[in-house]
Amino acid sequence: MKKIKYGIIGSGVMGREHIRNIEIIDNAQVVALCDNHKQSINSGLEIINNEVEVFDNHKDLISANIVDAYIIATPNFTHIGILRELIKTKAHLLIEKPLCTTVEDCLEFKKIANGYPGVIWTAMEYRYMPPVARFIEEIHKGTIGNLKMLSIREHRFPFLVKVNDWNRFSENSGGTLVEKCCHFFDLMRLITQSEVLSVFASGAQDNNHLDEIYDGRIPDILDNAFVTLNFENGSRGMLDLCMFAENSKVQEEICGVGHKGKIETSVPSDASGKHTSELSIGLRNSDRITSEIIEVDKEILEAGSHHGSTFYEHIGFINAIRNNTAPEVSLDDGLKAVAIGQAAEISIKENRVVNLSELLN
């Protein structure tokens, strides 16, 4: 089978995670790297086992016309400019979250992408973590009945250092609840199978980056928040985020409660040294809790820092390309996740409930 030829635009931390996963997929190959930061290029080249072409400008990469699919893993604020150029190529696109930093930019991309022949896939890794995928399967099977309450807790380490410290300011990242949490909002939409009506959030920058100064400016990104979502089908979602809780047993915990019972699982943190998760189900008419241990293949686990999910995401992306089918995570999914995150940021700033219709209509 002919290999899918990938061009990586942005070979920073996330770009290299994509490279490592493509390296262990038989029918895929990275043939081009593009980045204007020499250290990032060199770090990317170190983990590729074949010859690649190197570019310091995405326009030159596009002109070379040597790839089937592009991965956009550049700083968030650059996405829209790059996408304006890529949309002329008709190649397949996998765009790292967030799709863009604002709803306005996402809507512009949606407009110019109308009728696009290639696959456009928004990278939302958390859907593909094995324990999360099993959690979703049980919810959608109706194991706990009609889902009423969904909560996600992420207690983790602060934002990593990025090239030129771009992620220290909301104007570059979209804000923490867009940059970091859009994939959780995407996950909630997928799990509930419903759309968000309104958002109320409370959050602050209480601990992280307050002693850092860049060109006379102190970072302005939130480091903790509670976000409550109301869905059209009557279910409710709750996100509990803390980014100064790095020494935790688990990094993410997910819990769903329906009228028949409760299901919960977690994703281990790096600090725990564990690589397995437990899925537990407790039904209201039973006096016992059933549990299942979920493991991730070691090679897949070691290819990234998202509990094996990037590998499975690429398998889905490649299948969509091969079979000419719709992406599992669409441009619209990316747009709505950004809208929920932006609504949460507005809610905190203005201390009010924000209706999604304010941003999407």
Place of tokens 């809780």: 245
End of a domain among 74, 104, 123?
A: 123
Q: What's residue 335's pLDDT?
A: 98
- Residue 255: inside a domain: yes
- For residues 138 and 144, the answer to whether their CB atoms sit within 8 Å is yes
Q: What's residue 142's pLDDT?
A: 97
The CATH number of the domain holding residue 107 is 3.40.50.720
Do 160 and 280 fall within a single domain? yes
Give me the mean pLDDT over the 12-39 stretch: 96
Give me the mean pLDDT over the 60-69 stretch: 97
Do 92 and 174 fall within a single domain? no
pLDDT in tens, 155-207: 999 999 999 999 999 999 999 999 999 999 999 999 999 999 999 999 999 99
User: What are the tokens at 203?
Assistant: 């959050």
Which structural domain, as residue segments, surrounds residue 188? 126-305+328-360
Q: What's residue 272's pLDDT?
A: 73
Give me the mean pLDDT over the 128-138 stretch: 97
What Rg value do the Cα atoms of the chain yield, rounded?
Answer: 20
Give me the mean pLDDT over the 9-28 stretch: 95
What percent of the chain clears pLDDT 90, i.e. is strictly above it?
Answer: 93
pLDDT in tens, 42-56: 999 999 999 999 999
Distance of CA 168 to the CA centre of its chain: 18
Q: Does 260 score more than 80 pLDDT? A: yes
The CATH number of the domain holding residue 161 is 3.30.360.10
pLDDT in tens, 270-321: 777 778 999 999 999 999 999 999 999 889 988 888 889 999 999 999 999 9
Domain count, the chain: 2
Query: Among 127, 126, 125, 80, which residue's Cα sits nearest to residue 99?
Result: 80
What percent of the chain clears pLDDT 70, i.e. is strictly above it?
Answer: 100
Do 247 and 139 fall within a single domain? yes
Give me the mean pLDDT over the 344-361 stretch: 97
Beta bridge partners of 278: 293
For 277, the 3-state DSSP assignment is strand
Do 115 and 132 fall within a single domain? no
Q: What's residue 361's pLDDT?
A: 79
What's the one-letter identity of residue 31?
Answer: V
- Residue 323: inside a domain: no
Q: What is the DSSP string of 12-52?
A: SHHHHHHHHHHHT-TTEEEEEEE-S-HHHHHHHHTT--S--
pLDDT in tens, 82-107: 999 999 999 999 999 999 999 999 99
- Residue 247: inside a domain: yes
Query: Among 79, 71, 77, 83, which residue's Cα sits nearest to residue 44?
Result: 71
Do 212 and 352 fall within a single domain? yes
Distance of CA 309 to the CA centre of its chain: 10
- What is the reported pTM? 0.96
- Residue 320: inside a domain: no
Quick one: pLDDT band at residue 129, thresholds 50, 70, 90?
very high
Do 149 and 111 fall within a single domain? no
Place of tokens 């028949």: 260
